[in-house]
Amino acid sequence: MPGRISKPISSIGVLTGGGDVPGLNVAIKALVYRAENMGIRVMGLRAGWEGITYLDRARGLDALIFRDEDPATWKSSYLMPLERLNTRNIDRQGGTILQSSRTNPANTRVSDLPSNLQAYAEGRRLDERVDLTQEVLANLEFLELDGILCGQSLRRWITMYPGPITALASRQPLAVQPSSLIASALLWVRIARLYFSAYLAVMPVLLRLKRQQLPGQIA
């Protein structure tokens, strides 16, 4: 029987893994707004699961924070604290402000390991795979996060892996009661999905009408 949350959530991480889909920024904004009202700190984890897996704890927290004006932080500074101010207009952008990747912490190719995780490559071929789940757990502790919200696609919506951390080590997602925080984020994702579906349905009709009008306009 999976465990349940035994203490209030004070901080969560959010990441977007896999490919970009419409509505991710909308979901991120809804999550941040709702979390802030509930007194919950939100940490954006850039580059999908790569961010929480490859994080170099030896650099210190401040050096790991992404700053848009500093090119030195663009590649391996995976942390983006999220608040109302820096998410106010993100619903007007496509894709995801957190970027995404197809990194799988439990099945990572040795040749893809960053310099701070080269210890996992010792005695292994470059095409072998390694399990970096323990790095994810260590990084959750380092960042003092109570859990991760992962938006991978519109079909999978948002999956939550809450604390305590030992539950993630056993790879069994904890059963949680539906909360207003997740419900709010899901609502915004559904609205975005309906909008995109309507756009896809209407565009072919508009294009056909435009083609029918072109001969008359030319004449």
- Token output for 59: 């650099």
pLDDT of residue 128: 95
pLDDT of residue 52: 92
pLDDT band for position 197 (cuts 50, 70, 90): low
Cα–Cα separations (whole angstroms), residue 137 to 8, 36, 171, 176: 19, 25, 11, 19
pLDDT digit string (tens) for 73-88?
Answer: 888 899 999 999 999 9
Residue keyed to tokens 């897996």:
53
Q: Report all structural domains of the chain as residue ranges with CATH numbers, in order of start.
A: 11-218 (3.40.50)
Contact 109/50 with Cβ under 8 angstroms?
no
Contact 15/148 with Cβ under 8 angstroms?
yes
With CA atoms as reference, report the closest residue to 147 among 157, 137, 156: 137
pLDDT of residue 66: 93
Own/partner contacts of 88-95, CB < 8 Å, gap of 24 or more, are 88/29, 90/25, 90/28, 90/29, 91/25, 91/26, 91/29, 93/25, 94/20, 94/22, 94/25, 95/20, 95/24, 95/25
